[in-house]
């Protein structure tokens, strides 16, 4: 029996390693190698080693797009956090388990629909002739339709709409694991609600906050379809640049170099996350 269990365990591990190698490691290795090659008009890629693809990213145009992507992703992350933390807190405050489960199902329900379809529906809702503008005109709040679509604000709204659950779920998980004994002890020691929130709740739920911010910030930089539909040509994200380099300009080496830079940025953010988590564990042990 133990022999069969060990054999099954080895098969599962082998399948996972094979999957990660074929669909994660090898594609990323190909992208990394391509980033050091030269563009060819005849065969897309010429096996000529060069660093020019990375030096081109120092061009002010690409630097501007990267900074703009960071700005948009940062705004989307901040708004998701501001809205998502109270939302997650309100769910944990529901005493009935059935009602709490229903709220979580409603939060996850949009995942059953394609994000592209949801962005199209949001675009129709916010357009000049959409339901929102018609409703505001009917109420008399505005006389002329608001021009929301094809602006930075529209892109940020679209990113929040798509990524909001990714912020709420990790925070909710951290709040669920929060030991209420710390709150009761701080209350007995005379701490106010604000002091309990700032010095007990926030530090102990920081892993969920950081995880939620990562899950929102990283994808927000690459969601080119949100920028295409909600922002137009004037509000490009780095994902739009990579898509255009591969599909339109056919400059695969430059697109690969851009992808590698973004991957390194994501890796740096993961290191920051692991560092933050380690500091939180040290703080938690001191509290205990």
Per-residue pLDDT averaged across 4-19, rounded?
Answer: 85
Q: What is the pLDDT of residue 1?
A: 61
Per-residue pLDDT averaged across 259-278, rounded?
Answer: 84
Nearest-5° angle of CA 86, CA 92, CA 94? 110
Question: Does residue 29 have a pLDDT over 90?
Answer: yes
Per-residue pLDDT averaged across 133-144, rounded?
Answer: 88
Secondary structure string (H, E, C) spanning the chain: CHHHHHHHHHHHHHHHHHHHHHHHHHHHHHHHHHCCCEEECCCEEECCCCCHHHHHCCCHHHHHHHHHHHHHHHHHHHHHHHHHHHHHHHHHCCCCHHHHHHHHHHHHHHHHCCHHHHHHHHHHHHCCCCHHHHHHHHHCCCCCCCCCCCCHHHHHHHHHHHHHHHHHHHHHHHHHHCCHHHHHHHHHCCCCHHHHHHHHHHHHCHHHHHHHHHHHHHHHCCCHHHHHHHHHHHCCCHHHHHHHHHHCCCCHHHHHHHHHHHHHHHHHHHHHHHHHHHHHHHHHHHHC
Question: Does residue 36 have a pLDDT over 60?
Answer: yes
> Does 28 map to a domain?
no
Per-residue pLDDT averaged across 24-47, rounded?
Answer: 88
Tell me how many domains the chain contains. Answer: 1
User: Which of 9-13, 123-127, 181-185 is the most confident on average?
Assistant: 123-127
Smallest CA-to-CA distance from 256 within 67, 220, 232, 264 is with: 264
Q: What is the pLDDT of residue 272?
A: 81
> Does 6 map to a domain?
no
Q: What is the mean pLDDT of the chain?
A: 87
Q: What is the pLDDT of residue 286?
A: 60
Confidence of residue 35 (pLDDT cuts 50, 70, 90): very high
Q: What is the pLDDT of residue 225?
A: 92
Q: How far is CA 235 from CA 104, 121, 221, 262, 274, in A?
A: 33, 20, 12, 18, 32
Q: What is the rounded end-to-end Cα distance, in angstroms, of the chain? A: 42
> Does 191 map to a domain?
yes
Residue 211, burial from CB neighbour count under 10 angstroms (0-12, 13-18, 19+) = buried
Quote the longest CA-to-CA distance of the chain.
76
CATH number of 113's domain = 1.10.3720.10
Smallest CA-to-CA distance from 50 within 28, 35, 63 is with: 35
Ramachandran bin of 251, using left for φ above 0, alpha for ψ from -120 to 50, beta for the remaining angles: beta
> Does 30 map to a domain?
no
Radius of gyration of the chain (CA): 24
- For 194-222, how does the pLDDT look when each residue is reduced to its tens digit (9 = 90+)? 888 888 888 888 889 988 999 999 899 88
Confidence of residue 84 (pLDDT cuts 50, 70, 90): very high
Question: Are the C-beta atoms of residues 242 and 225 closer than 8 Å to each other?
Answer: no
Note every long-range contact of 241-247, with CB atoms under 8 Å and residues 24 or more positions apart, other chains counting.
241/62, 241/65
- For 170-181, how does the pLDDT look when each residue is reduced to its tens digit (9 = 90+)? 999 999 988 778
Q: Which two tokens stand for residue 239?
A: 């994902």
Per-residue pLDDT averaged across 81-109, rounded?
Answer: 90
205 lies in which domain range? 59-287
> Does 47 map to a domain?
no
Q: What is the pLDDT of residue 288?
A: 54
More confidently predicted of 74 and 142: 74
More confidently predicted of 13 and 184: 13
- pTM of the predicted structure, to 2 decimals: 0.86
Q: What is the pLDDT of residue 15?
A: 92
């Amino acid at each position: 029996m133990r022999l069969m269990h060990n054999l099954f365990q080895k098969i599962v591990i082998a399948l996972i390693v094979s999957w990660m190698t074929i669909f994660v490691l090898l594609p990323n290795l190909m992208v990394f190698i391509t980033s050091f090659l030269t563009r060819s008009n005849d065969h897309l890629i010429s096996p000529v080693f060069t660093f020019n693809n990375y030096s081109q990213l120092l061009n002010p145009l690409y630097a501007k797009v990267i900074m703009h992507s960071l700005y948009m992703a940062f705004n989307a992350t901040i708004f998701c956090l501001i809205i998502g933390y109270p939302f997650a807190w309100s769910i944990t405050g529901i005493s009935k388990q059935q009602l709490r489960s229903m709220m979580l199902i409603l939060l996850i329900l949009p995942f059953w629909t394609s994000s592209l379809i949801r962005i199209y529906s949001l675009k129709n809702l916010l357009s000049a002739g959409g339901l929102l503008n018609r409703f505001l005109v009917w109420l008399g709040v505005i006389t002329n339709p608001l021009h929301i679509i094809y602006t930075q604000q529209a892109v940020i709204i679209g990113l929040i709409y798509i990524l909001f659950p990714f912020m709420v779920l990790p925070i909710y998980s951290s709040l669920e694991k929060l030991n209420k004994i710390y709150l009761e002890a701080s209350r007995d020691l005379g701490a106010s609600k604000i002091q309990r929130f700032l010095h007990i709740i926030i530090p102990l739920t920081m892993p969920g906050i950081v995880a939620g911010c990562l899950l929102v910030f990283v994808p927000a930089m690459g969601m080119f379809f949100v920028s295409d539909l909600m922002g137009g040509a004037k509000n490009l994200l780095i994902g739009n640049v990579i898509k255009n380099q591969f599909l339109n300009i056919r400059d695969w080496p430059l697109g690969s170099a851009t992808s590698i830079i973004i991957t390194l940025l994501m890796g740096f953010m993961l290191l920051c996350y692991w560092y933050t988590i380690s500091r939180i564990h040290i703080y938690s042990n001191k509290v205990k």
